[in-house]
Chain A
Amino acid sequence: MQTGRLHGRSPVHQRPGVIWAAPAFVYFLVFAVVPLVLVVGLSFTHWNGLGMPRWAGAANWSRLAEDPTLGSSIRLSLILTAVAWLVQTPISLLLGVWAAGPGRGRAALSAVFFVPLLMSNAAVALLWQSLLDPNFGLAELIGPLLGAPDGNVLGDPGRALAAMALVVSWQFIPFHMLLYQAATRQIPRSLYEAAAIDGAGRARRFWSITLPQLRHTIVSSSVLIVVGSLTYFETILLITGAGPGTATRVLPLHMYITGFQAFEMGYASALAVLLVAAGTALSIGIVRMTGYSRMDSSREGM
């Protein structure tokens, strides 16, 4: 290596020291890692948001066992995630593969499809709340098709949850569609050419070339849907406020309401620790499955 030879003469290859990275690391430490430690600490206290937290021992943790809403909120989170996955994956995959093809029409349509992703959660939520209004919205129009002739979509526990899954799907399908679109373009064309020579039809090519070639993307997209489902909370808070009853009170929402409406921040912290555990488990999954830490090599697949 040349550097070795030059080393004696000038400070070649002067490496940036740790000081370059320190501001970012310290900042992140203070506003992300310290809160993470604090949330564990707070879960052992009683605190109503005012004054100082009072030591509570394991009271909040034993309360987890007797909280009837906790079980239902975990169950709802799982159902919502599963339904959101089932809705988003096939639609975004098909749309993505379709959008990867040539033609101006496709490009124009894909551009329109993108719009929901540009809207904030708040805007998406308020738009859909208005659309689902039983008296003036579309609920009156499409309600009968959903088995709710009176437009009672958000007021019915089952339908409200389904509606939440559909709204978040509406919002995030464009994103997953993008992932699939990019991945489809990476598939070597020679594969299709060979298949065409073998006389494979369109459906056949999709099943035996496109789909297998997209498997990594399916995995990453799925993992992202699962992790992302932890963030659906804003949309739900705005549309149903966790109701009717507790029908859409998913785990993050249960935590938020406990903390900032009932002002039981100690117990909310215990719930938050559960959330952190779930989030960590899920994203360790991400790192393992997609090799996210080796960005340079894995990016192309995304």
Chain B
Amino acid sequence: MTTRQEIRRARTAPAGAHARPARPGPRRDGSRRPPFLRRANPLAALGALAWLVVVGMPVYYLVTVSLRTRADYLTAGPLAPPTSPTLDNYRLVLTGEFGRYFVNTAIVTVVSIAVVLALALPAAYAIVRGRHPLIRTGFSMMLLGLAIPSQAVIVPLYLLITRMHMYDSLAGIILPTVAFLLPVAVLVLTSTLREIPNELYEALALDGGGPMEALRTLAIPLSRPGLITVAVYVAVNAWNGFLFPLVLTQSQDQRVLTMGLWSLQGQYTSNVPALMAAMTLSVLPVLLFYAIGRRRLVSGLTAGFGK
């Protein structure tokens, strides 16, 4: 078997445990379960239904209130069904500054993903394949860095960003956002790259490929699940980021969605329905993403062990 064939074969088979995250939903082999495990458990089902209410009620409130007029909201009870639903709140939100916040957030998210991947992938590759002692040291530094709570260094970050004349710019948000997502990205990619069998590298080297070639033809294609996981992890965190935009930006031009929601609260004052409409709109992209690629999203979210 030639190297290329070998690589192709490895590509079609998922590489390692990480590429096969626990699949939520029914197990394909569920039918082979012994009967006693398939019997319904009414108590557990009842508990699950109770939790459905706990989760569902606020979500129901969010959506129904966003469809009401303000007068209706103030007079009818909070859980009353919207008798005459209206999209006016969405119209109000969309004619305001919401579009700009949305674009700003998208820029922060996309650039963060690109920068994180561009930094983390070569680093993870070097950690797995490299032998230089400094690489070990750097890796340990990052592992320890996992422990730095971002809000604990917000004061010096503020100093740093203002001194770099990056204050109140999207770049000023992106720089620290990337830094604090890097350790997890490197960890995830390292573990993905470790799954690529040594023989593949050796075979590639036989064909005369250097590290660049190995990264391009081996590491990137074979670590796709890991790369997607990292991208999703970065996307969710950057999209929902709050502290860095809060401290490092100020003007309306540089406002991201999370800050926008907060400012809308002041702007719409008692217009709770409009605020709920804005919130629904801010969650939609993530929700859409969830509907399309639930498995990746789940692995992306758990990659960082928390948001």
A residues in contact (CB < 8 Å) with B: 2-3, 6, 10-18, 20-25, 27-36, 38-39, 42, 47, 49, 53, 91, 94-95, 98-99, 101-104, 106-107, 109-123, 126-128, 130-131, 136-138, 140-141, 170, 172, 175, 178-179, 181-182, 185-186, 189, 192-193, 196, 202, 220, 224, 227-228, 230-231, 233-234, 238, 252, 255-256, 259-260, 265, 268-269, 272-273, 275-276, 279-280, 282-284, 286-287, 292-293, 295-296, 299-300, 302
Shortest beta-carbon distance, A85 to chain B, in Å? Answer: 14
Q: Which of A185, A265, A283 contacts B147 (CB 8 A)?
A: A283
- B202 touching A141 by the CB < 8 A rule? no
Please state if B48 and A101 are interface contacts (CB–CB under 8 Å).
Answer: no
Q: Which residues of A contact B276 (CB under 8 A)?
A: 127, 130
Contact across chains for A13 and B202 when beta carbons are under 8 A apart: yes
**Chain A residues near B21 (CB-CB < 8 A):** 182
Q: Known contacts being A27-B178, A38-B160, is A275 close to B41, with CB within 8 Å?
A: no
Residue of A nearest to B279 (CB): A123
The B contact surface, by secondary structure, is helix
Query: In the bound complex, do residue A16 and residue B130 qualify as a contact, i.e. CB atoms below 8 Å apart?
Result: yes
Q: What is the bound-complex CA distance between A21 and B129, given in angstroms? A: 11
Instruction: Flag whether B96 is at the interface (Cβ < 8 A).
Output: no
Q: Which 9 A-B pairs have the closest CB atoms?
A: A31-B179, A120-B240, A283-B147, A38-B156, A24-B123, A107-B25, A20-B126, A102-B30, A182-B22
Asked if A42 and B159 sit within 8 Å, CB to CB, the answer is: yes
Which residues of B have CB within 8 Å of A185? 22, 27
**A3, A10, A16: the one within 8 Å of B125 (CB):** A16
Once bound together, how far apart are the Cα atoms of A30 and B272, in whole Å?
42
Instruction: Give the secondary structure class of A's interface.
Output: helix
Once the chains bind, are A27 and B179 in contact (CB under 8 Å)?
Answer: yes
Q: Is the CB of B26 within 8 A of A102?
A: yes
Partner among A6, A189, A265, A299 whose Cβ is within 8 Å of the Cβ of B33: A189
Tell whether, in the assembled complex, residue A234 and residue B243 are in contact, meaning their CB atoms are under 8 Å apart.
yes
Contacts of B57 in A (CB 8 A): 138
For residue B243, which residue of chain A has the nearest CB? A234
Please determine whether B152 and A279 come into contact, CB atoms closer than 8 angstroms. Answer: yes
Judging by beta carbons under 8 Å apart, are B59 and A115 in contact?
A: yes
* B127-170 near A? 1/0 per residue, CB < 8 Å: 10111101100110111111111011111111110000000000
Residue from B54, B143, B159 whose CB has the most chain A CB atoms within 10 Å: B159
Chain B residues within 8 Å of A116, by CB: 55
Residue of B with least CB distance to A9: B206
User: Which residues from chain A contact B153 at a C-beta distance below 8 Å?
Assistant: 32, 35-36, 38-39, 272, 276
